[in-house]
Structure 1
Amino acid sequence: MAGSKEVFARRKQGKIDEAYELALELVEAPGAGEWEQSALAWCLIDLIKRESANRDDARLEACRAQLEAILPSADNEILATHRDKALALCRPEGRLLAEAKTVSQAGNAAQAVALYRKALAARPGDADIQTSLGWELYRHNKQLLTQDAPNVGLVRRNLSDYLMLAVGKPSLLHSCMLKQAAQLAGQDSLKMLAFSRLWNLDNLSGDDFEPYQTDDGKILPALAEKVIRLAAKDVIASCNQDDLDYLQPYLEDAIDRYPDSLWLRHTKAKALLALNRHGEAMQFVVLVTKAKPDEFWTWELLGDVCAPSDPDAALACYCKGLTCSSDETFLGKLRLKLADALIAGQDFARAKCEVERVIVHRRASEHKIPEAAARITRQPWYAGTEPAASNHDYYKARAAHAEDVLLHDLPWTSAVIGERFTVTTAEGKTRTRRRIYLASGDGMPKEVFVRESDFPFRDAGSGEPVQVKGEFRPGDRYHVYKIERRAGADWDVVPTRVGVIDHVNKDKQLAHFIVARGIDGVIPLATLPGPVCEGNMVAVRMARFTSQKCDRYRVLSVEPSREQADAAVFRRFESTVRTSGDMGFTTDDIFIPPAVMKKAGVEDGEFVSGVALLNFDKKRMQWGWKAISASASEWP
């Protein structure tokens, strides 16, 4: 007779009825044991799954009775688990679950949701049913959100129903529902702050903090960052301190996690501003404005922060903002803020000019006149005031004060102008840049650059003295905010250093020099007059620049020098020699190369004098001294 293995083989082939009949024979045969009972149990589980879908109540009841009579051993947990699930299908709610699964697989999420709701009503608190319902709510929402005109109210209801379920958290399902909520909130169809309180941001998973990469390689913000920004938007709208207190720890954590996210800082600044916490908002607004100095809205925000304590600074910031854009579609609020500031200063002609520009644009685009503009037109002075023809020159005159407000904490750094150079962008376009050399405390100027379009002195020559306000950003990228001419001499922040030629490559027509340990460079032989030899002294001007995260040095000028290089790189020596093959070494470990030994004609134990240069041994990866000349001398 075939054994239990044959039963499992027929089940695998889909021959469930044959497998069941064979299992019955095995169980009834003499000597039947646990393996045969298990084989029959698995057949009954398969039959119950099938008949619950077919709604054959008589067959289902018969199978249930047989399966209940089989008790798996304690160590057969898999069979016990599937047995319990199969028996559950025999109950009315179990049939609902089977039907729900069937219609879900057919793509009818709405009907599946309804069936899972009925099943949960029959067995309240069942964790598996709640999780299944949660996933079906997600699938239903996914279908709704892909429609041309989605039923937003139904999506919100599904989200609300989900929040009442007791499902595992954190979990993929929990994150998926948060993602759908964020999609609605991004369309202003859901309040993310209220949702996130119920969802509980402590349940964010590790994956929720990872940026998302699209199929075309574009990197999008992480779900956590997006949700926190949307929730902060609601804080700004509510002006509620309790809301900010709730969100602040999550917002601070996000700022720490995403140090390059300008929008998180912008969001926090606006939230603090909405709560009239101007002092705290200032540090974030300054960061945002420095990062986006060419955007009108950053200067508008800086003006809003300054307004309560320094109205004149606020007015200057509004003016600066209006120098950054000419797109009237977005400038209406900013113009009206400037108008209010001008009115406060009794500058009615310029104020009316701003209001008229807003009104003209709104009428031309067939939009409603803003109430803020209408309010100003009703003021007594308005009708009898002739508007200024243009405020453009006024903006430019006040913009400098706005820049001072932004940069007051940054010191001026002395610098000189460098040469122009071009770069090719990823799109294949050529862009011109201008080098600037900043004074440094260690005497080695730092090379930075600005776009030629941002450089204010197009006629300036290389070496001309200027002063700069700027700072290094993450990634060691220096951003120049302001440049002014200053009194001084050309190249005054780039000192001349004396170095020594330590290698000449006549084939490549290049010479290498060293100024100090780690400070060296290469120059074309043509830059120096006459023959160039090892040991020649040169006066060089150099600047440090960063390339591939390493410091390198650019030679700005070089000429012969009568001064001697520092003793740290150039020395004269007298010593006895010990030989090793055709090489020599002094008593203080100066290496004498074979060519120098041969030319000097010295032997082991002789006394020599000569010149040595600091040298880096690449094989040993260490610094030492190397003789470039030597000669036999008399003993002292």
Structure 2
Amino acid sequence: MPATITALCQAGELAAAYQQAKAALAERPDSTFAQADMHLVAMTCIKKAMGQSDVVGTTRWLQKLAALALPAHAGRDEQLCWEIRKLLATMAKRQYPPYVEIAELLRALPTITLAPVASLGRSLLLQTALKFKEQLSAEWWAWWNFELLRPEDYVKEIFTPADTGKPMRLPALAETAYGAYAKSLIKRLTPTDKLTGAFGQSIQAEQQAETRLEAQALLPRLEELSTSHADYNWLGYYRAKLLVALGDTAAALPTLLPLVRQKSGEYWAWQLLAETLRPTDSAVALACYYRATKCNSEEMYLGKVRETLASLLHSAGHFGLAQEQLRRLAQAKEAEGKQPPYAAKQLMGQPWFAEVYPVDKTLSAALLATAETAAYGDLPWKPVALQEFIAATAEKPARVRLLPGGRNARPLTVRLKKYPWLAKETLGAPLQVRCEPVNGFEQVVQLAARPEGSPWDTRPTPRPEPSPITRDFDGLLRVQDAGFGFVNDVFVPARLISQHNWTSGQHLQGIAISQFDQKKGKDGWVLKQAKAIEQDKLSSVASPQ
């Protein structure tokens, strides 16, 4: 009696098992048993190749399995997803993964028809394949069915690193997958010079036409996800970039501007705004590139921005600022042990670069103002007054509370670090803000002085401001848990206590000034200047108020 196919596989006689299974399938192509036997042989061969980390061998058997055109079967498909996911995970851990071979394997997968059933194995295959997103072809994305993402795939995971012990939220699989797909479409929409001649250009035009249809079909889904999952921060970014790649700048700006306002401290937000505006307004685009370089970002990320900005500044005749960008770029590359990009080296090799041009600070300020207007210019200014300084805590940085106009207006807060010039302002100082609604609350996106205003002019019940009243005080400091303190009835702001390292029991002498307390609705005394008495030695300090 001949050995069964299962026995042959277990004995490692795979060639014999394959021939027997192939003959049985040819004789009874509709037999579920013959189909199961052939799939068993193929999976046994795939596992053997995987055990040897043989990506090429695995790809070859995927191609054979695809050629057999076995009917989709949820159970068998799940097994295939798990095995390929295991191989990809192993390759991802290598210091130098074989990207060419992995790309071939990923191109072979779409030739296999899977049952349209959501499953854990299918989701894990997607998650691991995204580690090689640069190798995912257009065919792969067409083969993958986003409709089969599970509800769990839309939930962000909580991960706690062992070194910090602080939980952090990781992007949901759906968020990462849609972002990677959008990024692949953006790349495919960018013309290349790889296809030359009339025939090549014809092929490229046909491919781009198909890609445009895919991109236009994806846009409503990205908008829907951005609405239903407000914490999917990056999808708005990719939607805006996709619109720019499609040439629809007008549609991109309403999506992009809230993102730029929310991420105004990130260089990439200003870079994207510059790329969006560049085709229609090169002057404003230049200003936005310049604003990007002023973000607190590591130099390793700013190379492309500085290179582009230097070229634009040079073309506009702003040689001093252009030299500054090129020198910073060269210094950053030198620190990395690299040479500047070719275009930057070309500029630095020209005679003008050897000349001495001063950096125009007036132009610098004008560029920053232009960029701010581009990002916030469509929002109205609203009057506010400087209401309170809030000291930093272990949980929150130092903040400033702002008082808008109107009896029921909710106070606004901003980080003092973002607007350090506020530390020199007095309480009640007239300011103006532009705000953007975020999660149902008004968020300040731009803050500036309001020269035409008067102190505390946004109070619900304005009253004439009397001349400043002062008095002397002398007593012991009582520091409260919140960080601020009192000397008798004189209020001592937390920032002064922290700045001068004062503690409870500190003997202070000084001058207090009468100021209106918005919370209590009456005048109160606030420290204006003081001297700390310590072992008969005086150290004079002055309040910035």
Distance 1:276 1:92 in 2: 49
Give the corresponding residue for 1:290: 261
Distance apart, 1:290 and its partner CA: 0.3
Amino acid at match of 2:228: R
Aligned residues of 2:386 and 2:429 also touching (Cα < 8 A):
yes
Superposed CA offset, 1:508-560 (max 9, x none): xxxxxxxxxxxxxxxxxx99xxxxxxxxxxxxx998xxxxxxxxxx544389x
Aligned residues of 1:320 and 1:396 also touching (Cα < 8 A):
no
2:289 to 289, 310, 318: 318
Distance 1:245 1:325 in 2: 35
SS of the residue corresponding to residue 114 of structure 2 reads coil
Superposed CA offset, 1:300-326 (max 9, x none): 322222223333322322332232247
Give the corresponding residue for 2:85: 138
Give the corresponding residue for 1:420: 389
Q: CA RMSD in A?
A: 4.1
Query: 1:182-581 to 2 correspondence within 5 Å?
Result: 182-185=130-133, 188=134, 190-191=135-136, 193-214=138-159, 217-239=167-189, 240=208, 241-325=212-296, 327-363=298-334, 365-377=336-348, 382-383=351-352, 386-390=355-359, 394-426=363-395, 431-440=397-406, 443-455=407-419, 456-476=421-441, 478-496=443-461, 554-557=519-522
Distance apart, 1:367 and its partner CA: 2.0
Task: Identify if the C-alpha distance between structure 1 residues 148 and 399 changes in structure 2 by more than 3 Å, giving closer, same or farther.
Answer: closer
Distance 1:259 1:312 in 2: 33
SS of the residue corresponding to residue 87 of structure 2 reads helix
Amino acid at match of 2:258: L
Task: Identify if the C-alpha distance between structure 1 residues 153 and 341 changes in structure 2 by more than 3 Å, giving closer, same or farther.
Answer: closer
Unaligned runs of 5+ in 1: 1-47, 56-86, 498-525, 528-540, 544-553, 560-636
Amino acid at match of 2:412: V
Distance 1:53 1:312 in 2: 69
Aligned residues of 1:415 and 1:439 also touching (Cα < 8 A):
yes
Superposition TM-score, scaled by structure 1 size: 0.56
Distance apart, 1:343 and its partner CA: 3.3
SS of the residue corresponding to residue 228 of structure 1 reads helix
Amino acid at match of 1:424: T
Aligned residues of 1:255 and 1:265 also touching (Cα < 8 A):
yes
Amino acid at match of 1:175: S
Q: Using the aligned pairs only, state the percent identity.
A: 23
Aligned residues of 1:211 and 1:219 also touching (Cα < 8 A):
yes
Distance 1:100 1:262 in 2: 40
Distance 2:80 2:378 in 1: 57
Distance 1:303 1:123 in 2: 50
Q: Does 1:179 align with 2:127?
A: yes
Distance 2:81 2:297 in 1: 50
Aligned residues of 2:433 and 2:447 also touching (Cα < 8 A):
yes
Unaligned runs of 5+ in 2: 12-30, 162-166, 190-207, 463-488, 491-515, 525-545
Aligned residues of 1:289 and 1:302 also touching (Cα < 8 A):
yes
Superposed CA offset, 1:128-171 (max 9, x none): 65554444333333444344544444444444443333332232
The structure, 1 or 2, with the larger RCO (C-alpha pairs under 8 Å, 6+ apart) is 2
SS of the residue corresponding to residue 431 of structure 2 reads strand
Give the number of the structure whose residues are more often strand, by fraction: 1
Aligned residues of 1:353 and 1:389 also touching (Cα < 8 A):
no
Task: Identify if the C-alpha distance between structure 1 residues 374 and 493 changes in structure 2 by more than 3 Å, giving closer, same or farther.
Answer: same
Distance apart, 1:229 and its partner CA: 0.8
SS of the residue corresponding to residue 434 of structure 2 reads strand
Distance 1:192 1:229 in 2: 15
Distance 1:384 1:109 in 2: 57
Distance 1:247 1:170 in 2: 21
Aligned residues of 1:100 and 1:116 also touching (Cα < 8 A):
no
Amino acid at match of 1:473: V
Distance apart, 1:225 and its partner CA: 1.2
Distance 2:311 2:6 in 1: 76
Superposition TM-score, scaled by structure 2 size: 0.65
Distance 2:182 2:38 in 1: 45
Superposed CA offset, 1:358-391 (max 9, x none): 3454345432332322443576xx4487242435
Aligned residues of 2:405 and 2:460 also touching (Cα < 8 A):
no
Q: Does 1:169 align with 2:140?
A: no
Give the corresponding residue for 2:40: 97
Give the corresponding residue for 1:518: none
Superposed CA offset, 1:62-106 (max 9, x none): xxxxxxxxxxxxxxxxxxxxxxxxx988x797498389679969x
Distance 1:469 1:123 in 2: 61
Distance apart, 1:182 and its partner CA: 0.9
2:71 to 95, 105, 125: 125
Task: Identify if the C-alpha distance between structure 1 residues 387 and 269 changes in structure 2 by more than 3 Å, giving closer, same or farther.
Answer: farther
